[in-house]
């Protein structure tokens, strides 16, 4: 059947952040790949009475949640800029607690939702067709982006130290449709998101691999080759949305805050201090 994975898999995956936007999309899409999903979120997951309601700070609940799963798709966390203290607790300490629980329970692989904001200050390519490589130095644009850098380094440490594998997916913008001109370059359709997560969950010998998460956009800014090497074959392109968005918002001219860097307007966002 077109669009469905071949072959289907039969694996139990812990999906953290299951109540969120991306978690909700993936709850809809990943079962078609054969996954059994165990769900976790700090808040109840609507329509899912068996979902685990637990904070990433609850180490006992995390141990139980990861017990017996084949892999974790780790989406939980603060998904926008916040105070350093909040980011520290949810994204830094929370991700550490998850990795420790997974290590203790012998889970072999985590797919980690990193973000374009880990490289947010990277200038967007000046020439059409030039692509930012996955090995570009990280340049977080926010405390949020910094926490994603931490997550990537944590993943590397757990691979080197414990042999636990991770695919860190620097997601662009995964929503039903792109809503800004910048997103025309970074958009990952939900269906391509499921394809990429499936590839990241099933590819062999990934060690710690960092990939960018986008569809095959005509206006792509970054290099998808490490994602493709996992077996990811994006099927979508944001271009059908381009004419309408450009008519409404204009091209990314220098006066547009989204113009200069991959992180868009996030690079000019003032820091949020603790109180």
Catalytic annotation, residues: 144
Residue with Cβ nearer ligand 15L (5 or 172): 172
CB 13, min distance to ligand NAI, A:
15
d(CA 181, CA 186): 9
Residues found in the chain: 275
122-150 b/e (C-beta count within 10 Å ≥ 16 → b): bebbeeeeeebebeeebbbbbbbbbbbbb
User: How many of the chain's residues bind ligand NAI (CB under 6 A)?
Assistant: 24
Where does this chain touch ligand 15L (CB under 6 A) — which range of 34-42, 44-52, 110-118, 158-166?
Answer: 110-118
Residue with Cβ nearer ligand 15L (115 or 168): 115
Residues 14, 42, 132, 154: which binds ligand NAI (CB under 6 A)?
Answer: 42
Where does this chain touch ligand NAI (CB under 6 A) — which range of 14-22, 65-73, 135-143, 241-249?
Answer: 14-22
79 binds ligand NAI (CB under 6 A): yes
90 binds ligand NAI (CB under 6 A): yes
d(CA 88, CA 83): 8
Q: What is the DSSP string of 106-166?
A: T--EEEEEEEGGGGTTSBPPSSTT--B-TTSPP--SSHHHHHHHHHHHHHHHHHHHH--EE
Kindly list the residues in this chain that would bind ligand NAI in the complex (CB under 6 A). 17, 19-23, 41-43, 55-56, 75-79, 90, 94, 113, 115, 171, 173-175
């Amino acid at each position: 059947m077109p669009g469905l994975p071949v072959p289907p898999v039969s694996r139990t995956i812990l999906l953290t952040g299951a109540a969120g936007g991306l978690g909700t999309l993936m709850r809809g899409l990943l079962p078609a790949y054969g996954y059994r999903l165990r769900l976790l979120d700090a808040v109840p997951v609507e329509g899912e009475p068996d979902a685990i309601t637990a904070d990433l700070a609850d180490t006992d609940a995390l141990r139980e949640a990861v017990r017996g799963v084949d892999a974790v798709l780790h989406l939980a966390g603060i998904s926008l800029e916040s105070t350093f203290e909040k980011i520290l607790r949810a994204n830094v300490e929370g991700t550490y607690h998850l990795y420790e629980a997974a290590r203790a329970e012998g889970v072999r692989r985590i797919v980690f939702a990193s973000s374009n904001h880990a490289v947010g200050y990277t200038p967007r390519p000046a020439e059409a067709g030039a692509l930012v490589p996955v090995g570009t130095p990280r340049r977080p644009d926010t405390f949020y982006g910094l926490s994603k850098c931490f997550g990537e380094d944590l993943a590397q440490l757990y691979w080197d130290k414990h042999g636990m594998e991770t695919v860190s997916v620097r997601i662009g913008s995964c929503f039903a449709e792109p809503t800004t001109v910048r997103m025309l370059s970074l958009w990952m359709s939900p269906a391509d998101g499921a394809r990429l997560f499936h590839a990241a969950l099933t590819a062999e010998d990934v060690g710690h691999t960092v990939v960018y998460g986008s569809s095959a956009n005509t206006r792509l800014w970054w290099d998808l080759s490490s994602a493709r090497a996992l077996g990811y074959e994006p099927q979508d392109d944001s271009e059908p949305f381009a004419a309408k968005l450009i008519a409404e918002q204009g091209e990314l001219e220098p006066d547009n805050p989204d113009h200069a860097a991959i992180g868009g307007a996030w690079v000019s966002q003032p820091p949020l201090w603790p109180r």
